[in-house]
Amino acid sequence: MQETTTPFGSRLQLAMEAYGPLCAGLDPHRELVQGWGLDYSLAGLERFAMTCVEAYAGQVAIVKPQSAFFEVFGSGGVRVLERVLADLRAAGTLTLLDVKRGDIGSTMQAYADAYLGKDSDLRADAVTVSPFLGYESLRPALDLAGQTGRGVFVLALTSNPEGPSVQHAMRDDLSVAASVAVGAALDNTAAVARGELGSIGLVIGATVGTAVKDLGIDLVAAGTPVLAPGFGAQGGTVDALRQTFGAAVAQVLASSSREVLTAGPDVASLRAAATDAAYRLRDLLAV
């Protein structure tokens, strides 16, 4: 499939309308791999990952491989990840590589080239990044994503118990999370002017309750796409999504990994679990 520089936000919006607002996680951690009756080895990783590719390709809006579960197997695991990304790319299915990289200067540029560069074997349609060194430290990734039609999801409000101590911290009457949201909103200005979803998104946990409202984060006006991890087995529900995101719920990708992946290793069962979850989300959220 020929690649395009059409903005990621536009492609994501079309994919969500076509397949429903589900981000299908591809997390080959030990418990799930062994739960499929596979050895926790490079061969088991490859069998697990390629089964997911066969089940998800052309069936869901976007697939999110967790890079760490491939990296743990060294260069062999990275080669499997490259194959996963290439096969989903060939099938026309969007990929969101969960790498959570964050650094400064030439190092951040190298991370950007690795995951967003048009010629990289590890290129994905979007990646996750960490703004701990400051939102503008991510500029190499943000700019390269714009040039190559890719997207970036920036950590903002996570559901781990340690998150609020940093993310809710205030400076000049603005929380850390809200300042990240402002940065994303500014980068999405041109897309909003075109009436499109932006290509710079935020990672906001499906179980953070009223934090978005409490911190004054306006996702709707900013045209900000949201990745909401924690839907399903981790406790996130449709009602929780509505409570957390309100009028912005149509911009939310609910990420589910474990709940869907337990339907494997049968390809047909795994595909059915993913598509059922996606359609159920679309119907219940009316998006």
Active site residues: 100
- End-to-end CA distance of the chain: give it in Å, rounded: 28
**Residue tagged 């069962």 (tokens):** 269
Residue type (1 letter), 34: Q
Please choose, from the candidates 233, 230, 120, 182, the residue with its C-alpha nearest in 3D space to the C-alpha of residue 241.
Answer: 230
For residue 252, list its beta bridge partners: 226
Determine contact, residues 210/177, Cβ cutoff 8 Å.
no
Token readout for 117 is 């560069």
- C-alpha 174/C-alpha 171 separation (Å) is 5
Contact 113, 99 (CB under 8 A): no
| Cα atoms in the Cβ-side hemisphere of radius 13 Å centred on 146 | 13
| Cross-strand pairs, 157 | 204
- Nearest to residue 236, comparing CAs of 21, 67, 41? 21
The angle formed by the CA atoms of residues 50, 63 and 37, to the nearest 5 degrees, is: 40
- CA–CA dist 195, 255 (Å, integer): 25
- Rounded distance, CA 126 to CA 197, Å? 14
User: Position 53: which residue type?
Assistant: V
Query: For the chain, what is the largest distance between any 2 Cα atoms, rounded to a whole number of angstroms?
Result: 53
